[in-house]
Amino acid sequence: MSTGAPDPTDPNPPEPDRPVLRVRGLAKHYPTGGGPFRRRGTGAVRAVDGVDLELHRGETLGLVGESGCGKSTLASVLMGAERPSAGTVEVDGQDLFALDRRQLRAVRRRMQMVLQDPYSSLDPRMTIGRIVAEPLAIHPEVLPRERRPAKVAELLRLVGLDPAHADRYPHQLSGGQRQRVGIARALALGPELLLCDEPVSALDVSVQAQVLNLLADLRERLGLACLFIAHDLAVVQYLCDRIAVMYLGRIVETGTREQVYGSPYHPYTRALLAAVPVPDPTLRGAQVALLEGDLPSPADPPSGCRFRTRCPQAQQRCAQEEPALTVRPGTDHPTACHFPLPAQVPPPRDPATGKAP
């Protein structure tokens, strides 16, 4: 049995500013056994293909991208549900995939996940109380059995639910309430790192804001590090300090919220932001050029820059040379583009009316 105390044999003594989560060169390829894809080179779907991330205490990193960009695969590798094809995932300096089973269990106490679908993520045959208490039952060393009911009540109150709900079954709760239960379960072991995989996309509009504000408050109060995976750019902007934009298994742009939303340099980021419909009919008609076409197959990514097939600025060099994710002259945050767009911000909107002057 592992103990609750920090592992004395920790191979990496804590550095002063060690990130809670460090991902280096992470790749996850799924071999393909033939099929409809015309293949060139290796026969594998490169769902995630060389991703570096760092996440510090109390920080929220937003990972955005469209479906098929590899963000969900990345999440399941980070949670240790699948082994990566290459690269490392370090939690508090410990490599997740170099640990034995016992050590892995100990690390899992520090990282928890909130899943997307509040309807399928709770066992329909368990009461809310048992669902929230389950992490404590899996890690019995954390809390003696007789103190668990009180803890469950505390957790339910923490996420804004009536502790009397502990006797109910999931199907008796609304979607928003279920997602609160999912959050309470994730917080049961007092994690340092919370992975949220599209936690509000299955909820009704009027309920989304409840859960978003709850996550924001909890993060602040508990000092959690959050990796927030979502496709909704407005939601990510609301909640995240730093942003990483993914396209076809790679990160194409990363920076602080102000940097990425204020002056996106990568043509993909800019197109993504332009495509988000703003709830203001008076802005209609001020539309920008939209991206053409669909995401290429990750089994056969384009040569060079992966975005070049849909990029309005693509040139010869983009097909030949893969752009690295670095800070380029004239930019203030890393982009993976040979020809980052000039830092010309889309006309600033008047915050009061939301309209362009």
Partner 1 sequence: MPAAPPPPLPEPPRPGPPLLEVDDLHVEFRTPRGTVRAVNGLGYTLHAGQTLALLGESGSGKSVAALAVMGLLPTPPARITRGAVRLHGRDLLRLSDAEHRKVRGTRIAMVFQDALSALNPVLTVGHQIGELFRVHRGLGRRQARARAVELMDRVRIPAAARRVDDYPHQFSGGMRQRVMIAMALALDPEVVIADEPTTALDVTVQAQIMRLLAELQQETGTGLLLITHDLGVVASVADRITVMYAGRVVEESDAPRLYAAPAHPYTRGLLESVPRLDRPGRRLVPVPGSPPDLAHLPTGCAFHPRCAAARARCADERPALLPVGAAAEERSSACHFTDEVTARGGRP
Partner 2 sequence: MTSPHPPGPTGDLLLPAADTDAPPQAPPASLSRDAWQQLRARPVVWACLAVIALIGLTAAAPGLFTALFTDDDGRCELARSKLGPTTGHPFGYDLQGCDYLAQVVRGSRPSLLAGVAVTAGALLVSVVLGLLAGFYGGWVDSLLSRATEVAFGLPFVLGATVILVAFPRHGLGAMTLVLVALGWSTMTRVMRSQVIAVKDADYVRAARMTGARPSRLMLRHVLPNAVTPVVVVAMLNVGNVISGEATLDFLGVGLQYPAVSWGLQLNTAQSYFLDHPHLLAFPALFLSATVLSFILLGDAVRDAYDPKLR
241 is a site residue for partner 1 (CB under 8 A): no
The pattern of x and - marking residues 128 through 167 that bind partner 1 according to CB under 8 A reads: ----------------------------------------
Characterize 314-342 residue by residue with b for buried, 16 or more Cβ atoms within 10 angstroms of its Cβ, and e for exposed: beeebeeebbebeebeebebbbbbbbbbe
Which CB, 37 or 97, lies closer to partner 1?
A: 37
Residue 208's binding partner among partner 2, partner 1, none (Cβ under 5 to 8 angstroms by kind) is: partner 1
Tokens of 107: 């690390």
The stretch near partner 1 (CB under 8 A) out of 85-93, 175-183, 188-196, 326-334 is 175-183
Residue numbers 56-95 binding partner 2 by CB under 8 A: 79-81
Between residues 203 and 243, which has the closer beta carbon with respect to partner 2? 203
Decide: is 280 part of the binding site for partner 1 (CB under 8 A): yes
- Per DSSP, 326 falls in state B
Joined together, the tokens standing for residue 90 give 């370090």
Q: Is 172 in the site for partner 2 (CB under 8 A)?
A: yes
Closer to partner 2 by CB, 160 or 262: give it: 160
Contact between 214 and partner 2 by CB under 8 A: the answer reads: yes
Tell me whether strands 86-91 and 21-31 are parallel, antiparallel or unpaired.
antiparallel
When asked if residue 327 is in the footprint of partner 1 (CB under 8 A), the reply is: no
Cβ partners under 8 Å of residue 290, min gap 6: 271, 274, 275
Q: Which residue type, as a one-letter code, is found at position 16? A: P
Q: Are 153 and 236 in contact (CB under 8 A)?
A: no
C-alpha to C-alpha distance for 105 and 150, rounded to whole angstroms: 24
What tokens does 79 get?
Answer: 């949670």
Three-class SS state of 151? helix
* Token digits of residue 169: 């079954």
208 binds partner 1 (CB under 8 A): yes
Whose tokens are 């990796």? That residue is 227
Q: Which residues bind partner 1 (CB under 8 A)?
A: 36, 66-67, 174-177, 204-210, 212-213, 231-235, 237-238, 257, 261, 271-284, 287, 290-295, 349-355
Q: Which residues bind partner 2 (CB under 8 A)?
A: 79-81, 104-105, 108-109, 112-113, 115-117, 120-127, 131, 134-135, 138-139, 157-163, 165, 167-169, 171-174, 176-177, 182, 185, 189, 207, 209-210, 213-214, 217
